[in-house]
Structure 1
Amino acid sequence: MMHETSKTIALRPHHGLCLHFFIGLGYSERFVQRMTWLQKELERNPLIELVSGTDVLCDACPNTQGESCSDEKRFSAYDAALLKMTALQTGRVICWQQFKERMQERVFDEGRFHEICPDCQWHEFCHK
């Protein structure tokens, strides 16, 4: 599993959405701590690499089993939908701020967020 390095943080595309709406809730205390840590790291506007499969957040998620996700099919669909809307692809290295701006312009401003992950258990928190 590729994790953050001194220059680049591996990030599943849909986790950009999770980070946008994160309010301190999560699967576990460990997961909340990891999300909080990542939010602080991203404030420095590092380079991120958009990855398929597990990333730096997945280590702390109970859905992760070894190097894979128990719900990979669903989360891969979220990733694919976001990549399509933002005209990006896995493997792309981009600074965090550019990724946030792209999501804002092509997903949130166009009212398309609900199309990406309507069946997510955290979806209700994203609409408060």
Structure 2
Amino acid sequence: MSNAPALRFRPHHFLCSLGFQGKGYSDAFTANMRNIVEDRLRAPKGRDTLIKLTGYTDDICAPCPKRQGRLCTNQSAIATLDRSHAAALHLKPYETLTWGEALTRIKANVPPGALSTVCAGCQWLDYGLCEAALKRLHDKDEG
């Protein structure tokens, strides 16, 4: 395991990280997301990265222009996404898991095509980036 501190994630950010393709709400948000996803999670040994679940704004939210303290300006929609993702991935409050464990859960519990339900209401859903990433995950021989 890495000596870096655990990342803090809201439940819906597991699938957002899987689907991230360099786009975001602002330049600062995109740079932060790129650092987390490409430089940590997708790096060699990235599967060992620890992630601690939170119910509030997290490391991805930090520079988001929609962040309002520990919440989001669109909190009701985000809370709905978080509940849906936590249920789909069998996440428990404040649970800590590795990115590799998260990928295994995604593959085991979120089949291709399920994002239209799991991610209902997400503004990024129509772009198809997350669905393409989910299909790639399922097409791999290992988790």
> TM-score, length-normalised on structure 1?
0.86
Matched letter for residue 34 of structure 1: N
Distance 2:30 2:64 in 1: 10
SS in 1 for 2:58: coil
Alpha-carbon distance between aligned partners in 2 of 1:83 and 1:35, rounded to the nearest angstrom: 20
Moved over 2 A (4+): none
Mapped partners of 2:78, 2:107: distance in 1: 20
For 1:96 and 1:72, the matched residues in 2 are separated by 25
Residue 37 of structure 1 is matched in structure 2 by 35
Question: In the alignment, which residue of structure 1 is the partner of 2:104?
Answer: 101
Q: Secondary structure at the match of 2:123?
A: coil
Shift of 1:118: 2.1
Percent identity, aligned pairs only, is 28
**2:136 corresponds to:** none
| 1:21 maps onto 2:24 in alignment | no
Deviation of residue 71 (structure 1)? 1.2
Task: Give TM-score scaled by structure 2 length.
Answer: 0.78
Q: Which runs of 5 or more structure 2 residues have no equivalent in the other structure?
A: 133-143
CA-atom RMSD in angstroms:
1.7
Letter in 2 for 1:121: Q
Residue 92 of structure 1, CA deviation: 0.5
Q: Deviations over 1:40-81 (max 9, x none)?
A: 212322110111110001111111022321111211111111
How many residues get paired? 123
1:61 aligns with 2:64: yes
Q: What CA distance in whole angstroms lies between the structure 2 residues aligned with 1:115 and 1:87?
A: 16
Please say if 1:122 is aligned against 2:124.
yes
SS in 2 for 1:58: coil
